Homo-oligomer: A and B are copies of this chain.
Amino acid sequence: MRPSGRLPGALRTLSIDTNFSKHAEGSALIRMGNTEVLVTASIESKVPPFLRGKGEGWVTAEYGMLPRATHTRGDREAARGKQSGRTQEIQRLIGRAMRAVVDRKAMGEMSIVIDCDVLNADGGTRCAAISGAWVALHLALRHAMNKNILGSMPLTDQVAAVSCGIFKDTAVLDLDYDEDSNAGADANFVLTGSGGLVEVQGTAEGAPFSEAQLLDLLRLAREGTAQIFAAQKKAVGIG
């Protein structure tokens, strides 16, 4: 039924490598099928103005897509001179997702900037970015602990994301581009390792969807993120 031949509840092949970036304090190259996102986490010793002197840290994110990560070449945002609304929406989402599992007081006054750059896109880039960002963030924070910048790990939980959607009237997990372009509705779920909801973003692309459908999608998201949480643990070596 699915263009890829996957079962409705099947995640794409997932891998997370942590050695791609030469310089970042933490990094992850996450692949979900043909979607590939390079995430780096950079430690900075300053916080944004609104936090100065409050003894708290900050985690923020930026997102970009290489011009030819997509089927047809998209404009380079740096050349156009501004980030699209879509880009800004995504990077705000990634930042919120990370902050949901960080004890910012435990960080002290330091920042971590997460950069998520899509090298190849085949649907689900924001979700892959979030799942990879947790790995990069974990590694950067551990780096800070190893350097005695931090005394303890400020991460309170895992966080991961997956998209689900109604495709040909069936709830399916982890939409690829073909499905995403034709889904009746899709939703991105950001979940914690302990099962809590951090973000739910459901959108009807065609007809409105029902509460029952929303719950079907959420159930699939729980199944999908369980596998992502396992891959994250393995990537950071705490499995």
A residues adjacent to B (C-beta < 8 A): 20-24, 27, 34, 38, 40, 42, 44, 62, 64, 66-73, 76-89, 91-92, 96, 100, 113, 115, 117, 119-122, 185, 187, 191-192, 194-204, 207-211, 213-215, 218
Contact = CB atoms under 8 A, between A and B. Distances in A.
A22 B96 contact: no
A78 B67 contact: no
This chain: copies in complex: 6
Which of A68, A76, A210 has the most B CB atoms < 10 Å from its CB?
Answer: A68
Contacts of A71: 23
Main secondary structure of the interface of A (DSSP, over half): mixed
Nearest to A64: B78
A100 B203 CA distance: 10
A233 B135 CA distance: 38
A40 B121 CA distance: 14
Nearest to A23: B71
A79 B83 contact: yes
A198 B187 contact: no
Given A23-B70, A185-B197, 15 more contacts: A21-B69, A21-B119, A24-B68, A24-B73, A42-B67, A44-B73, A73-B115, A78-B82, A78-B83, A78-B87, A89-B92, A100-B204, A197-B202, A197-B211, A200-B214
A119 B200 contact: no
A17 to B, nearest CB: 13
B88 A89 contact: yes
A85 B92 contact: yes
Contact of A66 (B115, B192, B199): B115
